[in-house]
Amino acid sequence: MASMKDVAQRAGVGVGTVSRVINDSGYVSADARKKIERAIEELGYTPNELARNLFRNRTGIIGVLIPDLDHPFFSAFARETELSLYKLGYKTMICNTVGSSNRERDYLNMLDRNMVDGIITGAHTLHKTEYANRKHTIVALDQDFGPEIPIIGSDHLYGGKLAAEIMIKNGCKRIIQITGIAPNVAANDRHTVFEESLKAHGIEVLNIEMEWNKFDHQSYWDAAKEAIEKYPDADGVFAADQPALCYMHLAIQAGKRVPEDLKVITYEGMDVSRLCYPEVTAICQNVKFLAESCARTVLDLIDGKERVPHRQVLSVELQQGQSTYPVEITGEI
């Protein structure tokens, strides 16, 4: 196996010059760089990643904390984040916290022990102080941990207003909203503005609140069953993709027609929202853009860049399906 010394001898330069090329750590003339790159290729030299990272005082790894990888939104976010970080020269450690604060804390402690260079977190179990006390190289997906930690998320206020406008213009009078309220999570805004907008128009909102930090399919199915048993005469439902689709399934089984008897709007807009029939109307989050923004931001923190924005709010889009009638969106409700 070729060594750095072998590369230096083949290229006719010093070992220090080879090191500067490999670690991109200083000036090397174009001619010397070309000789070194040719020697590396001819010898099949592979740099020692551990040594490189020790030199740079970095691991080259970012931890991504996800509450449940079985959830379509979080699995898509993990996938897109890994792709984004790889393009930026970093590897990804996916941390599946699955409702356990101990698991989330263990992964977060890896940052303190310099086992990862940064953390992107979408997990929900720890109190905000556990993050705020660290104050370095952490980026939060949709969670407000205080002014020291950048937060990146979708425009949930607009998303909630958009869903409300569609329900209002579809003539709904009693609407079920299935929620899973968690502390300090910006996504809660969509539920608040949705309910406020509907009530301002005299429309009844029937809330089904799920247990905090539950992301498994059975929990969504149970919430949908509770909703349809408790409010069988509802004419609309608004929820994240999975509970909304579970409800629509049960409603159709019970003889309801969509959209004639029941209007359905989902929030997230993952692939599953386009695989059902009728295809549902959805408020879609741009998962790819969320992931890219989180990746760039955590690397900006690692590189010590100034003026890293505290909050980045990304647009949501309407996916018009067959579960509501098309309406003109004006933003005025």
Least confident of 111-120, 158-167, 186-195, 283-292: 111-120
Report which DSSP code applies to 211: P
Provide the b/e sequence for 135-165 (b: ≥16 CB within 10 Å): eebbbbbbbbbeeebbbbbbbbbbbbbbbbb
Any idea which of 36-40, 242-246, 276-280 has the lowest mean pLDDT? Answer: 36-40
Per-residue confidence (pLDDT) for residue 56, from 0 to 100: 57
Confidence check: pLDDT of 138 > 80: yes
- Average pLDDT along the chain: 89
Coil/strand/helix, residue 153: strand
Across residues 257-268, what is the average pLDDT? 97
**Looking at the predicted structure, is the pLDDT value of residue 183 above 60?**
yes
What residues have CB less than 8 Å from 110, skipping those under 6 apart? Answer: 63, 93, 116
Q: Report the percent of the chain where pLDDT is more than 70.
A: 94
What topology is assigned to 4-56 in CATH?
434 Repressor (Amino-terminal Domain) (1.10.260)
pLDDT grade for 100, boundaries at 50, 70 and 90? low
Residue 133 clears pLDDT 80, i.e. is over it: no
**Does the domain formed by 61-153+288-314 have CATH 2.60.420.10?**
no
Ranked by mean pLDDT, which of 36-50, 163-177, 200-214 comes out on top?
A: 163-177
For the chain, where do the domains classified as CATH 3.40.50.2300 start and end? 61-153+288-314, 156-285
The answer on pLDDT for 92 being more than 70 is yes
pLDDT of residue 128: 79
Q: How confident is the model at residue 318 (pLDDT cuts 50, 70, 90)?
A: very high
Domain with CATH 1.10.260.40 in the chain: 4-56
* pTM for this entry: 0.83
pLDDT tops 70 at residue 261: yes
Predicted pLDDT at 135: 60
Tokens 């449940």 -> residue: 68
Longest dimension (CA), the chain: 82
In the predicted structure, residue 175 carries a pLDDT above the cut 80: yes
Q: What is the pLDDT of residue 256?
A: 97
Separation of alpha carbons 80 and 88, rounded Å = 13
Out of 81-85, 135-139, 174-178, pick the least confident: 135-139
pLDDT on residue 158: 97
Cα 190 to Cα 10, 89, 160: the distances in Å are 62, 35, 4
Architecture of the 156-285 domain: 3-Layer(aba) Sandwich (3.40)
Q: Sorting pLDDT into bands at 50, 70 and 90, what band is 245?
A: very high
CA 261 to chain CA centroid, nearest Å: 34
Residue 51 pLDDT grade (very low, low, confident, very high; cuts 50, 70, 90): low
Q: What pLDDT, on a 0 to 100 scale, did the predictor assign at position 126?
A: 78
Mean pLDDT of 264-281: 94
